[in-house]
């Protein structure tokens, strides 16, 4: 049986990854300091192969016993969160990645870093291929996340080259689905919450900026495939179907059947104008293709948000 450490395992992606690994028969150690993750994302797990460790990955990690895989997924990931937790975001990407790589080196484990499309910044190449080096404002409000993740990629490659660690780098594009925090500030949770509670949908800027949204089960499938592959260079994972944020707001009004209005708010600083992954590499290397279309994914997400809003209302 493989023993696998998932940092950030109580987060949106981390918890889905824990589920997939348990499904694959791994023993899973889920590490999280719960600043943006939540035990609620783990309550459904009923397995004696699952262990939760409340620990801040930026502090020294002492793991007992063998470890076969380390997935370093800990980090605030919503722009609102990484503005609020700016120093923690920089620390988890730098010190945290260093510590997680240290575990991989010590245990001779495979290592995967959750990198991001944010390393491309406000891209001058469109769609973005892995060979594009990016256009990041280092000192802007998003710089804390972008540069921490760029550092993570660099130190991961350094450990691969210097110590021969079996590493993987995924660049994750916008992903959505159940277990996103309804108040995490990202577009889909915001629009759904607003639509379901009769508030205006807040489109930033004129809504012409684009993103490409991947449903969480597709992303997790790609992650598992990449870990099994022997590929060390970065791989984009995301759904290449690109949509403007105004269209997304309209779509959410449609799926929720809400009568809310759309209003426009100022565009946050350095908000990328376009984003779409080129997934040729993932297709060729991993035989991977996103399968869940936007309607289906939004419906499943809507069911989750409806339930979590009802649960919040029921709280005393």
Does 186 bind ligand UDP (CB under 6 A)? Our answer is: yes
Give yes or no for residue 211 binding ligand UDP (CB under 6 A): yes
Least distance CB 70 / ligand UDP (angstroms): 25
Q: Which is nearer to ligand UDP, 69 or 190 (CB)?
A: 190
In the bound state with ligand UDP, the residue whose beta carbon lies nearer, of 104 and 245, is 245
Stretch 121-160: interaction string toward ligand UDP, x if CB under 6 A: ----------------------------------------
Alpha-carbon distances of 303 from 60, 180, 255, 266, 296, rounded to whole Å? 39, 12, 11, 30, 11
Phi-psi domain of 276 (left: phi exceeds 0; alpha: psi -120 through 50; beta: other): beta
Options 41, 115, 174, 217; binder of ligand UDP; rule CB under 6 A? 174
How many CA atoms, within 13 angstroms, populate the side-chain half-sphere of residue 226?
29
Phi and psi at residue 63, to the nearest 5° = -105, 135
Nearest to 252 by CA among 217, 218, 298: 298
Site for ligand UDP in 221-280 (CB under 6 A): 245, 267-268, 271
Contacts of 115 (CB under 8 A, 6+ apart): 149, 152, 153, 169, 170, 171, 172, 234
> What is the nearest approach in angstroms of ligand UDP to the Cβ of residue 225?
24
Give the phi and the psi of residue 268 in degrees, each rounded to 5.
-60, 155
CB atoms within 10 A of CB 260: 18
Whole-Å CA distances, 89 to 32, 284, 311: 14, 33, 30
- Beta bridge partner(s), residue 72: 7, 113
Among 41, 152, 167, 190, binds ligand UDP (CB under 6 A): 190
Could you give the residue numbers annotated as active site?
A: 145
| Joined tokens for residue 248 | 């997304």
Interactions with ligand UDP, residue window 69-88 (CB under 6 A):
78-79
Number of chain residues interacting with ligand UDP (CB under 6 A): 15
**Stretch of 98-106, 130-138, 203-211, 304-312 contacting ligand UDP, by CB under 6 A:** 203-211
Q: Give 214 or 227: the residue with its C-beta nearer to ligand UDP.
A: 214
Which of residues 203, 227, 237, 252 is near ligand UDP by CB under 6 A? Answer: 203
CA distances to 43, 242, 308, 309, 316 from 312, in Å: 16, 33, 6, 5, 9
Provide the minimum distance between the beta carbon of 79 and ligand UDP in the complex, in angstroms, as a whole number.
5
Would you count residue 187 as binding ligand UDP (CB under 6 A)?
yes
Q: Which of 38, 202, 229, 244 binds ligand UDP (CB under 6 A)?
A: 202
Residue 20: both structure tokens together: 């997939």
Which residues of the chain form contacts with ligand UDP (CB under 6 A)?
A: 78-79, 174, 186-187, 190, 202-204, 209, 211, 245, 267-268, 271
């Amino acid at each position: 049986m493989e023993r696998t450490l998932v940092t950030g395992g109580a987060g949106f992606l981390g918890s889905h990854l824990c589920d997939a690994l348990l499904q694959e028969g791994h023993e899973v150690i889920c590490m999280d300091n719960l600043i943006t993750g939540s035990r609620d994302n783990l309550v459904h797990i009923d397995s004696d192969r699952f262990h939760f460790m409340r620990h801040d990955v930026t502090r020294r990690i002492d793991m007992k016993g063998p470890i076969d895989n380390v997935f370093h997924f800990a980090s605030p990931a919503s722009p609102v969160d990484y503005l609020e937790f700016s120093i923690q975001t920089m620390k988890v990407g730098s010190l945290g990645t260093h510590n997680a790589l240290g575990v991989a080196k010590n245990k001779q484990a495979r290592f995967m870093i959750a990198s991001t499309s944010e390393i491309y910044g406000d891209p001058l190449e469109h769609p973005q291929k892995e060979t594009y080096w990016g256009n990041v404002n280092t000192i802007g409000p998003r710089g804390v996340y972008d540069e921490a993740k760029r550092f993570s990629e660099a130190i991961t490659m350094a450990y691969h080259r210097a110590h021969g660690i079996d590493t993987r780098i995924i660049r994750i594009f916008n992903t959505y689905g159940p277990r996103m925090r309804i108040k995490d500030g990202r577009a889909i949770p915001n629009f759904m919450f607003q639509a379901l509670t009769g508030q205006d949908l807040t489109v930033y800027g004129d809504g012409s900026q684009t993103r490409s949204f991947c449903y969480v089960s597709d992303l997790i499938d790609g992650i598992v495939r990449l870990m099994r592959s022997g590929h060390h260079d970065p791989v984009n994972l995301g759904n290449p179907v690109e949509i403007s944020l105004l269209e997304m707001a309209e779509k959410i009004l449609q799926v929720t059947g809400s009568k809310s209005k759309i209003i426009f708010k100022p565009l946050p600083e350095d908000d990328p104008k376009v984003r779409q992954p080129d997934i040729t590499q993932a297709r060729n290397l991993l035989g991977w293709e996103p399968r869940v279309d936007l309607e289906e994914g939004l419906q499943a997400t809507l069911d989750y948000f409806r339930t979590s809003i009802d649960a919040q209302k029921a709280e005393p």
